[in-house]
Amino acid sequence: MYISGKVADRIRLVAKMRNVTVKKMLKDINLGLNTMSNMKNSMPKANNLAKIADYLNCSVDYLLGRTDVIEVNRDGNV
């Protein structure tokens, strides 16, 4: 279930774990600085979440709070 604000909190957490600022991440993936504040008030756009998840090497499901597993298995094994 989507909880307003939780997505932004999880993005900040993973960015900190990856030693990158949210500002740098947003700049690197061509998203506006207001993207994070918008996520606190409404459901984020799927393409923005995908860009952020790819950049942070985490799953969109983690960002949405659907799992507590941050890491993404990208080697093709299940």
The residue extents of the domains of the chain are 6-64
| Cα 46-41-5 angle, rounded to 5 deg | 80
Q: Comparing C-alpha atoms, which of 55, 53, 77 is closest to residue 67?
A: 53
The average pLDDT across 47-58 equals 97
For residue 57, pLDDT over 70 is answered with: yes
Question: What is the full DSSP assignment across 2-71?
Answer: --TTHHHHHHHHHHHHTT--HHHHHHHTT--TTHHHHHHHSPPPHHHHHHHHHHHTB-HHHHHTS-S--B
pTM: 0.86
Q: Comparing C-alpha atoms, which of 31, 34, 41 is closest to residue 7?
A: 41
More confident residue, 71 or 1: 71
What digits encode the pLDDT tens for the residues 8-30? 999 999 999 999 999 999 999 99
pLDDT of residue 1: 63
What CATH class has 6-64?
A: mainly alpha
